[in-house]
Structure 1
Amino acid sequence: MSVPREPEAVWAAATDWTRQGEWMTGTRVWVTGGGGDGPGSELAAFTGLGSLGVLDTMRIEVWRPPSECAVRHTGNLVRGTGGFTVEPAGAGRSRFVWWERFEFPTVLAVAWPLVAPAVVWGLRRSLRSFAVFCRDHEGGQEAR
Structure 2
Amino acid sequence: MAQRRGLSGRAPRPGRRRGEVVFTARAAFRAEPGRVFEVLTDWPRQSAWVPATVVQRRGGAPGRPGERFAGVSRLGPFVLDDEMVVVSSTPPAPGREGRVRVRKVGAVLGGVVDLVVRPDGPGRARVEWTERILVRPRALALLVDLGGPVPALLGRAAFGAVLRAARPELEGRR
| TM-score interval for Structure 1 and Structure 2 normalised by the shorter chain | 0.7 to 0.9
Number of equivalences: 138
Q: State the SS of the aligned residue for 2:103.
A: strand
Match of 1:9 among 28, 31, 35: 35
Q: Offset at 1:51? A: 5.0
Question: Distance in 2 between the 1:120 and 1:48 partners?
Answer: 20
Q: Which runs of 5+ in 2 are unaligned?
A: 1-26, 93-97
Q: Offset at 1:2? A: 0.4
Q: State the SS of the aligned residue for 2:171.
A: helix
Contact kept, 8 Å, 2:42 with 2:62, in 1: the verdict is no
Q: Does 1:91 align with 2:122?
A: yes
Question: Distance in 2 between the 1:70 and 1:90 partners?
Answer: 24
Deviates more, 1:116-125 or 1:71-80: 116-125
Alignment of 1:1-144 (within 5 A): 1-49=27-75, 51-66=77-92, 67-105=98-136, 106-112=138-144, 113=147, 116=151, 118-136=154-172
Question: Structure 1 residues 137, 22: closer, same or farther in 2, change over 3 A?
Answer: farther
State percent identity of aligned pairs.
29
Contact kept, 8 Å, 1:24 with 1:130, in 2: the verdict is no
Q: Which runs of 5+ in 1 are unaligned?
A: 139-144
Q: Offset at 1:91? A: 2.3
Contact kept, 8 Å, 1:25 with 1:122, in 2: the verdict is no
Contact kept, 8 Å, 2:115 with 2:127, in 1: the verdict is yes
Q: State the SS of the aligned residue for 1:133.
A: helix
Question: Distance in 2 between the 1:132 and 1:89 partners?
Answer: 18
Q: Offset at 1:25? A: 2.9
Contact kept, 8 Å, 1:32 with 1:43, in 2: the verdict is yes
Q: State the SS of the aligned residue for 1:103.
A: strand
User: TM-score, normalised to structure 1's length?
Assistant: 0.84
State the match for 1:142 in structure 2: none
